């Protein structure tokens, strides 16, 4: 989830943009004036700004200039109508990430643009950490503590043992598992337990960037290599020299990039885009995917030689439904982080809430559990105790079928809570979602589930 600020003076367009991004699970704030956008930029941290060019107060170009001063790493997407594309291009030269032409014709285009901007923001943060000699978790290189792999279930013992055994070696590791099973945490643990712990840990999500941008981020570029390359820039691989490079969602790589990555793995050298100098790289490779790469090899969508290069030491991370004994310890660890993020001194789980967690199937694994705990924490009373009623807002949708009476009770509670919230806000789904503390998309799914739509 990212924090997105939308500045657009047309109410219908503003509502469309904010709702579409909320349905993608982002934290979104919308304003209708440029000066209001600047005030929010001065008051809070944001990941992405979408701003129209023509607005009252301050226009989009002025907002862009102020944004670059206030939050230099903020990714700004310009919203431009027909006839103002030239102005949007000028905005790119002033540091905007990209532009979208109105009317935005598809949700996929909007969400993909924002996803790329968010990933760009994350990559810039990683580059800054690498420049300061810090790890991805913010700890100084050489003093990194291995991230906590919360586990007690017997199914995790061979996983942790395998990670510890391979960590001191130079072997390439392929982490397999469903989304949210903790593959990046496992990659960070591999780095922390390795002989490269004093070096940088650099990660990139192959699914979040377009092919051309991903290639530039991986290998870097020379000045003038392409339009907008106004200076030489080191790539992620170069920044990871002496440390660990984590390729997340590696199954999303396009064929051309698969071939180029294979060469780097085999020769341990590469050239920046537009450059002729060969750069040696001393990198320990860790890759991750939730896809079946062997099946992709069979289908011809993933190179067999690259697959064998990456899968030197495959490790599968089991989903939460296969590690039931880890649910409560993991929930406690995640809840402590939620409390810190929300500024709550203490949060705890009632017995009923613990039972609801144990009853869950958690198809989204640790990521879903964390998000659900955050929503429940917002609903919790002043004493900080999360009750079963708070858990009902997500438990019914993720739970396998236990005893019929228990299922009916929690589902009835959730259905009644949703119906009551809708009634209190006059049927406005956005306000109901805010009142319930859940994402708008989650509310839509539950309305469909309970026949309330």
Helix, strand or coil, per DSSP, at residue 311: coil
pLDDT for res 379? 84
373 pLDDT more than 50: yes
Question: What does DSSP assign to residue 326?
Answer: G
pLDDT for res 453? 65
pLDDT for res 428? 81
Q: Could you tell me what percent of the chain has a pLDDT over 90?
A: 30
Q: Is the peptide bond before 69 cis (omega within 30 degrees of 0)?
A: no
pLDDT for res 289? 95
Q: How far apart, in whole angstroms, are the C-alpha atoms of residue 137 and residue 140?
A: 9
Exposure of 277 in the CB half-sphere (CA atoms within 13 A): 11
Lookup: tokens for 315: 């490790």
Q: Do domains 141-318 and 321-449 have the same CATH topology?
A: no
Tens digits of residue pLDDT in 158-169? 898 899 999 999
Exposure of 308 in the CB half-sphere (CA atoms within 13 A): 3
User: Which range among 25-29, 179-183, 191-195 shows the weakest confidence by mean pLDDT?
Assistant: 25-29
pLDDT for res 152? 65
Q: Are 194 and 168 in contact (CB under 8 A)?
A: yes
Lookup: tokens for 279: 């750069």
Alpha carbon 19 to chain centroid, angstroms: 19
Question: What does DSSP assign to residue 200?
Answer: -
145 pLDDT more than 60: no
Q: How far apart, in whole angstroms, are the C-alpha atoms of residue 20 and residue 8?
A: 14
pLDDT for res 148? 52
What average pLDDT does range 247-274 have in this prediction?
Answer: 93
User: Which range among 14-18, 86-90, 255-259 shows the weakest confidence by mean pLDDT?
Assistant: 86-90
Q: Which H helix or E strand runs over 186?
A: helix 183-193
Q: How far apart, in whole angstroms, are the C-alpha atoms of residue 57 and residue 338?
A: 37
Considering the domain 141-318 in this protein, what is its CATH number? 3.40.50.300
Q: Could you tell me what percent of the chain has a pLDDT over 70?
A: 85
User: Which range among 10-24, 43-57, 400-414, 421-435 shows the weakest confidence by mean pLDDT?
Assistant: 400-414
220-221 and 269-271: which strand pairing? Answer: unpaired
Q: Are 96 and 120 in contact (CB under 8 A)?
A: no
Let me know the angle formed at the C-alpha of 449 by 443 and 450, rounded to the nearest 5 degrees.
Answer: 90
Tell the residue number behind the tokens 């879903």, with chain if given: 368
**Average of per-residue pLDDT values in the chain:** 82
Q: How far apart, in whole angstroms, are the C-alpha atoms of residue 247 and residue 280?
A: 19
What average pLDDT does range 2-14 have in this prediction?
Answer: 90
pLDDT for res 395? 43
24 pLDDT more than 80: no
Residue 411 pLDDT class (50, 70, 90 cuts): low
Lookup: tokens for 22: 């909320």
Tens digits of residue pLDDT in 164-186? 999 999 999 999 999 889 899 99
pLDDT for res 402? 39
Q: Estimate the share of the chain in helix, then strand, then coil, as percent rounded to the nearest 5.
A: 50, 15, 35
pLDDT for res 404? 36
Considering the domain 321-449 in this protein, what is its CATH number? 1.10.8.60
Domain boundaries, the chain: 3-118, 141-318, 321-449
Q: Are 200 and 242 in contact (CB under 8 A)?
A: yes
pLDDT for res 112? 78
- How many helices (H) and strands (E) the chain has is answered by 19, 16
Superfamily designation of domain 3-118 = Response regulator (3.40.50.2300)
Residue 84 pLDDT class (50, 70, 90 cuts): low
**Nearest alpha carbon to residue 76 among 87, 86, 57, 63:** 63
User: Which range among 5-14, 102-111, 167-176, 331-340 shows the weakest confidence by mean pLDDT?
Assistant: 102-111
What average pLDDT does range 44-71 have in this prediction?
Answer: 90
Tens digits of residue pLDDT in 266-320? 999 999 998 888 999 999 999 999 999 999 999 899 999 999 999 999 999 999 8
pLDDT for res 434? 72
């Amino acid at each position: 989830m990212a924090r997105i600020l939308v500045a657009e003076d047309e109410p219908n367009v503003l509502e469309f943009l904010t709702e579409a991004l909320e349905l993608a699970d982002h934290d979104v704030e919308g304003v209708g004036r440029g000066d209001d956008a600047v005030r929010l930029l001065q008051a809070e941290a944001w990941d992405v700004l979408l701003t129209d060019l023509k607005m009252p107060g301050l226009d989009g170009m002025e907002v862009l200039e102020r944004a670059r001063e206030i939050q230099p790493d903020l990714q700004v997407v310009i919203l431009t109508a027909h006839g103002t594309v030239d102005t949007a291009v000028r905005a790119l030269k002033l540091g905007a990430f990209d532009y979208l032409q109105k009317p935005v014709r598809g949700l996929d285009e909007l969400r993909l643009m924002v996803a790329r901007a968010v990933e760009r923001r994350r990559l810039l943060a990683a580059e800054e950490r690498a420049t300061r000699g810090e790890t991805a978790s913010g700890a100084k290189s050489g003093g990194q503590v291995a991230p906590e792999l919360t586990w007690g279930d017997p199914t995790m013992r061979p996983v942790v043992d395998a990670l510890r055994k391979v960590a001191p070696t130079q072997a390439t590791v392929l982490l397999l598992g469903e989304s949210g099973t903790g593959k990046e945490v496992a990659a960070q643990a591999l780095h922390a337990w390795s002989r490269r712990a004093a070096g940088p840990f650099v990660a990139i999500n192959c699914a979040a960037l377009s092919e051309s941008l991903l290639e530039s981020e991986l290998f870097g570029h020379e000045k003038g290599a392409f339009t907008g390359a106004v200076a030489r820039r080191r790539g992620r691989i170069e920044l990871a020299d002496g440390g660990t490079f984590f390729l997340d969602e590696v199954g999303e790589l396009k064929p051309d990039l698969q071939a180029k990555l294979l060469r780097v793995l085999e020769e341990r050298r590469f050239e920046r885009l537009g450059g002729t100098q060969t750069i040696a790289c001393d990198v320990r490779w860790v890759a991750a995917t939730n896809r079946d790469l062997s099946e992709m090899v069979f289908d011809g969508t993933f190179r067999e030689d690259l697959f064998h290069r990456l899968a030197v030491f495959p490790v599968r991370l089991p989903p939460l439904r296969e590690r039931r004994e880890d649910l409560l310890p993991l929930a406690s660890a995640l809840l402590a982080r939620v409390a810190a993020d929300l500024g709550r001194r203490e949060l705890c789980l009632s017995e009923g809430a613990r039972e609801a967690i144990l009853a869950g199937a958690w198809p989204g694994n640790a990521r879903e559990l964390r998000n659900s705990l955050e929503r429940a924490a917002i609903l919790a009373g002043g004493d900080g105790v999360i009750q079963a009623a708070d858990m009902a807002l997500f438990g019914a949708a993720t739970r396998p079928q236990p005893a019929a009476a228990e299922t009916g009770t929690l589902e009835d509670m959730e259905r009644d809570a949703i119906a009551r919230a809708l009634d209190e806000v006059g049927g406005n789904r956005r306000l109901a979602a805010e009142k319930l503390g859940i994402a708008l998309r989650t509310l839509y799914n539950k309305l469909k589930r309970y026949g309330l739509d």
